[in-house]
A and B are shown apart, each in its own frame.
Chain A
């Protein structure tokens, strides 16, 4: 197998704070024909930057400082715009994380697909169209003859992602760079896309750079894995060898995420703090988005609300908090029946039920300091001001493991994602709630940072006996932290019970599908699963 991509001693710099700072430091890699190289690491490790550099491209404000990038004999470092244009799309193609970045919403998919081969003079328009339909069929897209003639918004997330992969294939490039292609998708949809990726790399013998932060996923598709951190290479090796015996401590850390925590039993004697009974809700007044919802949350326990996109989890959170009034049923909190609408609830009701959101960036007012953010609930609910409030704010900052003196006067925009989420937690805690609804609080964070947040939440629960209603689509998280699991599909609860009950068979059919879709660290997992499910795709 010959080498198709060779990067040597690559340095990439970014312009920040009036100087050029290196963001990729001395990275070298080789990629052979038909080989898949996985690039893994946290946010900011430089994975996407290197992936784009393989095409001779840098984002705004960055530059290729030094080193060599050799793509099938063509030196991309310092190459002219015309040389780069000839190489891009035809020799190397890029699949982005979001379809919004790849597809123009005003044009049909097939029109965008044939653009590249026609531009590069490889095929005529009609030839390219026929080829496109062939690829759609190979990637298991439903209705391959017609699907290309739809607009991007008419396809589901998984279908769109596969259409993007097909578009990258349109000029039959030798290398494809996959930049976190499944990060934004549900586990079940992820399987479809991974199958497509495998099809391309194995059966069509294309080389690929697969960028992701999810080790289990990369273990399925990559032959070799490179671990990156802060722009440097940490470790590199064959997939199976690396997973079985990682040499570096950092690699071991990445592999060990989602460790299980101690399990707590749900006993009948424990206080029930929230009872949702026969609740239904609707947005339009015609169709119910939630039906027959019945669940209970006990004191000091975590109930995980699981489901795919669109299953109604976040809607249920809105119903419980009163933002979307239920049309039927009752919500009993701490022995009282709560008014279904937010504006009818008392301050005390509101205080004891808090919520933490998925995106800490939008959940915090960018113009406020940490002191203000945490201090407001103290002033609003407990009339705490001045020295007393200051002391309590410091206490709370310590409990979320942030040094009070450093953080108390910072603006929220001056914090990292993990720190912001911790401030959101402190804000919720300031009200001394009985129940916190965590709406996908770790989904937007890196693995290691998310792990820290989950540890913190568990600690707080152990100390203060707070209950959590934990909404997530990430089953690995559920396995780690839940005491009770509630599974939702299309607005209804399909199954609920203690964690052990739900996770051991026999399952409801959908639960089975969900559970089996969680990628495992075993490199053969995907192949085995696809063989099992082959019938459902063809």
Chain B
């Protein structure tokens, strides 16, 4: 592991640093934030000062505190959603690849059907009908995102499934779940891990977009996308407050992407 890190390119290390920084902030949020997430502590859109490190937002809450808690909320939410979408998508993908025949055909066409809906519209539709509580949000986005994971994991599993060691397991009499768990999964990890990083970014941006549109994380909970929306009006006054949460979104996405790039490079085997 350490030797892997030693050989990593600069971009990967920067990416790793960014992700670790964000995670630390998210985990230690209550200890880092000087104020409370929801308390109004100053005037509207105050500039950066020693009292308010990033100024205040459109109501007068400390922006730094909101950013720190926003990191926690958004990252945690994105992580859980990606995890769920991965579990769902890869499970179905592996089953389709190993079973083949009608099961593969049925699953794939069903997934195609879901994929054919524009994701934003679909999500907005479900959320406006069922209300955007946190669980609904997680399940909706996970369902929509799992379709992409399904596609990838099915493709990866099909490559592995034709290897003779899978046939050896079949000939032994091993069942479907054993083959998926012990033969397919360990060999599918590298591309799937890289994909996890990518999907995390997309989910993160998706939640931010939904919040921007008003159907994601509801106020007063801090969330970067929502904060961009709330503070958008400041631009007309020449105050750059909304750029701060927007910049943070970009920053984290780029960081994750750098790590993902490195992972993909490792798992592609081209570096050998």
List CB contacts (< 8 Å) of A346-394 with chain B: 347, 350, 354-355, 357, 359, 362-368, 376-377, 380
Task: Find B187's partner among A321, A365, A380 (CB 8 Å cutoff).
Answer: A365
CB-CB under 8 A from B167, the residues of chain A are 323
Q: Does A342 sit within 8 A of B, measured CB to CB?
A: yes
Chain A proximity of B207: nearest CB distance (Å): 34
Number of A-B contacts (CB under 8 A): 40
List CB contacts (< 8 Å) of B138-179 with chain A: 163-165, 167-168, 170-174
* Dominant secondary structure at the A interface: mixed
Do B168 and A355 touch across chains, with their CB atoms under 8 A apart?
A: yes
A350/B165 contact (C-beta < 8 A), A366-B187, A367-B186 known:
no
Do B165 and A365 touch across chains, with their CB atoms under 8 A apart?
A: yes
For chain B, the count of residues having a C-beta within 8 Å of the partner chain is 14
List CB contacts (< 8 Å) of A50-75 with chain B: none
Do B171 and A350 touch across chains, with their CB atoms under 8 A apart?
A: yes
User: In the docked arrangement, what's the CA distance between A368 and B167, Å?
Assistant: 16
CB-CB under 8 A from A342, the residues of chain B are 170-171
Residue of A nearest to B186 (CB): A367
Q: Does B183 sit within 8 A of A, measured CB to CB?
A: yes
Do A380 and B174 touch across chains, with their CB atoms under 8 A apart?
A: yes
Residue of A nearest to B167 (CB): A323
* Dominant secondary structure at the B interface: helix
CB-CB under 8 A from A363, the residues of chain B are 164-165, 168
List CB contacts (< 8 Å) of A445-498 with chain B: none
Task: Find B165's partner among A345, A364, A380, A431 (CB 8 Å cutoff).
Answer: A364
Residue of B nearest to A431 (CB): B172
User: In the docked arrangement, what's the CA distance between A355 and B165, Å?
Assistant: 11
Do B186 and A355 touch across chains, with their CB atoms under 8 A apart?
A: no
Chain A proximity of B177: nearest CB distance (Å): 14
CB-CB under 8 A from B163, the residues of chain A are 362
Task: Find A377's partner among B164, B165, B172 (CB 8 Å cutoff).
Answer: B172
User: In the docked arrangement, what's the CA distance between A7 and B64, Å?
Assistant: 72
A residues touching B (Cβ–Cβ < 8 Å)? 321, 323, 342, 345, 347, 350, 354-355, 357, 359, 362-368, 376-377, 380, 427, 431
A-B residue pairs, 10 tightest by C-beta: A367-B186, A363-B164, A365-B165, A350-B173, A362-B164, A362-B163, A357-B164, A347-B173, A363-B165, A364-B165
Further pairs besides A364-B165, A376-B172: 17, Cβ < 8 Å = A321-B171, A323-B167, A342-B171, A350-B171, A355-B168, A355-B171, A357-B164, A357-B168, A359-B164, A363-B164, A363-B168, A365-B165, A365-B182, A365-B187, A368-B186, A380-B172, A380-B174
B residues touching A (Cβ–Cβ < 8 Å)? 163-165, 167-168, 170-174, 182-183, 186-187
